[in-house]
Chain A
């Protein structure tokens, strides 16, 4: 069964460093998302991406965050200058299209630890 692949599975970084989290969505999917889950808290929407541009972003997704689809397969989340509070599990998801039953397929997540 097709899956969403995320790398790295775990990254440890120093506060202030730039981090890039990578995702390979399912190949025929058109809509891409980043969610995050701080330990012990709810899964939160960060951003949606379609047709090479951001469709919607949450208030969490400030100027420190950016997303990119640099080629036909990868979808990246960049955090420009990490803060302690950015420590979380980051999930990438993709969706084929709008059919009434919009099932998102999630990746296994990238755990980011900021020291």
Chain B
């Protein structure tokens, strides 16, 4: 059974700092990996999706990497801003006949203070 773990559980940084969020998964047979952002009382917003054949994806100040063989992904946020404060979730998709079935980590709560 796939298990997804995120470290750290919470992170508090001053504005402007670069930071790294970590995600690990137990079964490397994944179709893709996604990073989501969750704001309090809101839904899940997809930030980046890395297909299993890819090593990284970038969007603005965000860069996500994937090492499928070791079961790890990192989300790098450059020059953090208070507006980045949210919970960041990592999720893997099994593929096969399970398209769209995501297994989530417990999230990293990020606080960026001015």
Docked-complex contact B99 and A31, CB < 8 angstroms: yes
Docked-complex contact B100 and A105, CB < 8 angstroms: no
Docked-complex contact A43 and B44, CB < 8 angstroms: yes
Docked-complex contact B46 and A105, CB < 8 angstroms: yes
A93, A102, A103: which has the most chain B beta carbons within 10 Å? A102
Query: In chain A, residues 81-115, which have Cβ atoms closer than 8 Å to a Cβ of chain B?
Result: 91, 93, 95, 98, 100-109
Count how many chain B residues have C-beta atoms less than 8 Å from C-beta atoms of the other chain: 27
**A residues in contact with B107, CB < 8 Å:** 42
B98 at the interface (CB under 8 A from A): yes
Docked-complex contact B46 and A102, CB < 8 angstroms: no
**B residues in contact with A101, CB < 8 Å:** 32, 49, 51
Docked-complex contact B97 and A104, CB < 8 angstroms: no
B52's closest neighbor in chain A, by CB?
A: A100
Q: A91-B43, A91-B44, A101-B49 are in contact. Are A48 and B101 (CB under 8 A)?
A: yes
Docked-complex contact B100 and A31, CB < 8 angstroms: yes
Docked-complex contact A98 and B44, CB < 8 angstroms: no
Contact with A along B9-46 (1 / 0, CB 8 A): 00000000000000000000001101010000111111
Total contacts A-B at CB 8 Å = 67
Contact with B along A41-55 (1 / 0, CB 8 A): 111110010000001
A109's closest neighbor in chain B, by CB?
A: B43
The one of B42, B100, B104 in contact with A108, judged by C-beta atoms closer than 8 angstroms, is: B42
Docked-complex contact A104 and B100, CB < 8 angstroms: yes
A56 at the interface (CB under 8 A from B): yes
Docked-complex contact B43 and A107, CB < 8 angstroms: yes
- A33 to B101 CA separation, bound complex (whole angstroms): 8
- A54 to B105 CA separation, bound complex (whole angstroms): 25
Residues of A within 8 A of B (CB): 4, 31, 33, 35, 41-45, 48, 55-56, 91, 93, 95, 98, 100-109
* 18 A-B pairs with C-beta separation under 8 A: A31-B100, A35-B102, A41-B106, A42-B104, A42-B106, A43-B44, A44-B104, A48-B99, A56-B97, A91-B43, A95-B100, A98-B99, A101-B49, A102-B31, A102-B49, A103-B49, A104-B46, A106-B43
